[in-house]
Structures are given as C-alpha cells and as structure tokens.
Amino acid sequence: MDAKNILNEARSLNKRYNFFITINESFLEEPFLKKASGKNAKPSGKNYNEKVKLISVKDNICTKGLRTTAGSKILDNYVPVFDATVIEKIKGKYGVVGKTAMDEFGFGSFSTNCAFNVPKNPLDETRTCGGSSGGGAGYTYLSKYSDSSIGESTGGSISCPAAFCSVVGITPTYGLVSRYGLIDYANSLDKIGTFGKTVKDAVKLLNHIAGYDKKDSTSIKKTKEDYEKYLGKNSKLKIGIIKEFSNGEGISKEVEKEFWNGVKKLENEGMNYDEISFSLTDVFIPTYYIIAMSEASTNLAKYSGIRYGASDELKGTFNEYFSHVRSNNFGKEAKRRILLGTFMRMAGYRNAFYIKALKIRSLIINEYKKLLKNYDVFPKFSEIEKLSPVEAYMSDLLTVGPNLAGLPMISVPVKKDRPIGMHFIADHLQENKIIQIGDFYERIR
C-alpha cells in the first residue's frame, strides 16, 4: 500500500463530504513511515508500514504540531505543543490522517453547528452525519484505508453519529479513558471513545486508549483489561428495554420497526428481554443540559485572547478586551450555552438549577444502578430535523441518560449500511457486556 493513496483519499473524500477540519499534510513524514533502508533514506509513501493502522481523530483532542480547533473560530490558529494522552498511547500503532469535523466545542447533536464546513452523511449527502463527532463517523464508514476513529461524547456525541453514519460507536465508562489533552466541553460528562467499521475495529482501538493516567484526576485506577477477549462470545445476557423510550413519542415508525426487529433477532437467539419502566426520564434533558451548560460556561472562560487562540490588538481594559475577542469569535450556540450556564450558576439561581441538577443526577445514577442489578444491558435506538434550541436539546432524549450516569454504551447499526443504531447500555466498567452483545448482534442481525 502506498501511503500517498491514504492522503489522496482523505483529500478527495474531504472535498466532497467535509469530514475533516485539518488533514495531516505531514502524514508522509511520520516516523512510522521511515522503513526505507540506507543512511539518507527519506520517509516515502511506498515505505508504508502496514502494521500501523490509520485513524482519524476528533478535532477537540490535542495533537502536537497539528492544528486543533474544537470546531471553533476562537481556536482557528491553535497548534498544540503537546499530545493528549490518547494520542501518546497510540503512537507507533496508529497514524493520524486528520482531525475530524464537529459541532463547535461539541455543542450540537447533528454536526451542523460548525464554525467550519458541515460534514455530509456518507449514505445520503443531503443529510447530516449526526453529532457532535460527525466527521469521524462519516470518514470511518467510507474510507478504504481507515477502519476506526477516536471520537468523544458528552451527551451522545458518539452514539448519535455512529447511528447516522452506520458505523459502530463505543462510549466507555466515564474515567476509563484519560481526558488529558481533550478540549473540555463539560468535565463531568466528557468521555473519549471510538468508532469502528465493525465492533472489532472499535474494540481494538479502545484497547489501546483505555487505562489509568495520572495526568487526569478523574481517571479510574483499574487493572488493564483486554477487551478483544469478549469478541466471539455467545453467552446469553439479560436485556431490559426501557418502555418510556421504546414506545416513546417523537420516534419515527421506521426506526421503531427496525428496533423491534433487532430485539426479535436477539430473542430468537435465546436472549430474553423484559420491558421495564424508568421513572426519571422526564427530567433527563433538563438535568443533562443544566450540568453541561454550567460546566461549559466555566470551561470557556479561559478563552481570553492572550495565551493562545484568537486574539486582537490589545485595546481597552482587561474586561473590554476579553469581551471583544470572545464576542467576535464564539458562535451563537456557544454564546447561548455560556449565557445559560452562567445564569444557572449565579447567586440566587444556583440552588434551583445547578445544585438541584447535581442531586437529580444522583437519583438517575441510582435508578440505573438498581435496574442494572437485574439486567445486563439496555437497548435503545439512536435517531432527527430545523429546530429551535429547545427542540434541538430535546432530540438528545435517548442518549443523555446513560451519559449523565457515565455508563458504557455501544451503538451498532441495526443492519449493515442502515443509518439506525441499536444502542446497548451496561453498568459502570462493564464494557465486557456491551462488547459481547454488540459483537453478537452484529453477527446475527
């Protein structure tokens, strides 16, 4: 294989689909390509080491020397001077082809809230890739050379684009993968995960990036696990289906039909399911958005036009200068979330919003934990359309619950090349179960 083909493919797909914000044009100079012999041998595309796999990386993950924008104009010219831990972990095993398109800072569910180009769905160019990790999911579906990608989810940003682009998406337990070097949206919700053409591809990449990291104080200390060993298993898991979602309003008939077809296939293979009730689904969306916006508003306070990111001529006082740079460079949705988040943390409102949401999160986690004592996995479906802010936020109903609770989840296409995902959720650190059932479902669908 000639590595030049990989770059050419990325460029040509990008021209048509806008999957990338930045293509790694120095790709052919990467150390892993230096297989040529001789003292003065230069890296050449023809010397591509086929043991090194190719991946794309969401553009909110810092890559040393490679522009990283988080999909925002305020970081348009930002070139990190360090690698995120996940990038350090894949060195020598995976090469990075480019940084993929996303909603600004992850603020969106459809990859349409982009400061740069909007990525197009690989199955139908008139539709969206889903978001916020849309570019990575779309590229993984179409690329001949790359079978996996690093994404990130705050409230569904891996499961949603995985479903829309008909690829597999794994969102691990909160804290399983280091967030060091991730440009934060909401610290207590953000999780780095993977996309794959198949469950196996997504699992292989997860194996490399999971594990404790002392640079992240929310990283879980646990023995390293080989997730590939859960592939190919036929053990029967007990399935719980949350009624409030499976019979929910606002779900298209076609999606609902495909979901139940998928459940029936699992049932035919001997996996039993019960329909169960979750009492707090009505408050998933407000609880999630109050916490996410509150955290986002503090995280975005660091963009002040001095040390990195967009800047301008130093005019006026500190506050005047910061406000000027921030107002000119944040998009509308970022401003909306900063304002709402700031409000919900302000004296007089904090207890009614932010603190209350953190308490409701405890109730949601407890309810999931209680139900997951009796069931191994919960399947759901992941699915969209011009929406008001409230309508757009409501569209996240199916994914924010497990994200609030930090539970691991996998989205597997209901059928090959169908933009609907079968979504399985398990208890904390039970990646084994979501991988087992995801892989099993992929084989029998």
Query: In the range 182-241, which residues lie near another protein by CB under 8 A?
Result: 188-189, 214, 217-218, 220
The single residue among 7, 163, 237, 290 that binds another protein, judged by CB under 8 A, is: 290
The single residue among 53, 233, 324, 350 that binds another protein, judged by CB under 8 A, is: 324
Are 108 and 71 spatial neighbours (Cβ–Cβ below 8 Å)?
A: no
- In whole angstroms, give the CA distance from residue 427 to residue 409: 9
Place of tokens 């996309």: 195
Q: Which residues are catalytic?
A: 58, 132, 157
- In whole angstroms, give the CA distance from residue 187 to residue 210: 17
What is the sign, positive or negative, of the torsion defined by CA atoms of 123, 124, 125, 131? negative
The CB-of-20 to another protein minimum distance in angstroms stands at 21
The CB-of-425 to another protein minimum distance in angstroms stands at 13
Cβ-based nearer residue to another protein, 179 or 204:
179
Short-list 104, 133, 131, CA closest to 330? 104
Q: Which stretch binds another protein (CB under 8 A): 28-36, 139-147, 389-397, 417-425?
A: 389-397
The pattern of x and - marking residues 302 through 321 that bind another protein according to CB under 8 A reads: --x-xxxx-x--xxxxxxxx
Q: Which stretch binds another protein (CB under 8 A): 161-169, 254-262, 267-275, 327-335?
A: 327-335
Cβ-based nearer residue to another protein, 128 or 287:
287
Short-list 139, 114, 202, 123, CA closest to 9? 139
The CB-of-198 to another protein minimum distance in angstroms stands at 28
The single residue among 2, 29, 275, 282 that binds another protein, judged by CB under 8 A, is: 282
Strands 421-425 and 409-413 come out as antiparallel
Cα-based distances in Å from 123 to 302, 357, 406:
38, 38, 30
Q: Which residues, 6 or more positions from 180, have their beta carbon under 8 angstroms from its beta carbon?
A: 84, 85, 213, 215, 216
Site for another protein in 333-372 (CB under 8 A): 335-336, 338-340, 342-343, 346, 349, 352-353, 355-363, 365
Q: Which two tokens stand for residue 351?
A: 């207890």
CA dihedral 223, 377, 188, 186 (to 10 degrees): 120
The CB-of-444 to another protein minimum distance in angstroms stands at 31
145 binds another protein (CB under 8 A): no
The CB-of-367 to another protein minimum distance in angstroms stands at 12
Cβ-based nearer residue to another protein, 82 or 274:
82
Cβ-based nearer residue to another protein, 117 or 187:
187
The CB-of-253 to another protein minimum distance in angstroms stands at 25
- In whole angstroms, give the CA distance from residue 442 to residue 220: 29
Site for another protein in 64-93 (CB under 8 A): 77-79, 81-82
3-class DSSP state for residue 54?
A: strand
Cβ-based nearer residue to another protein, 123 or 365:
365
Cβ-based nearer residue to another protein, 129 or 220:
220
Burial 153-185 (b: 16+ CB within 10 A, else e): bbbbbbbbbbbbbbbbbbbbbbbbbbbbbbbbb
The single residue among 251, 276, 280, 387 that binds another protein, judged by CB under 8 A, is: 280
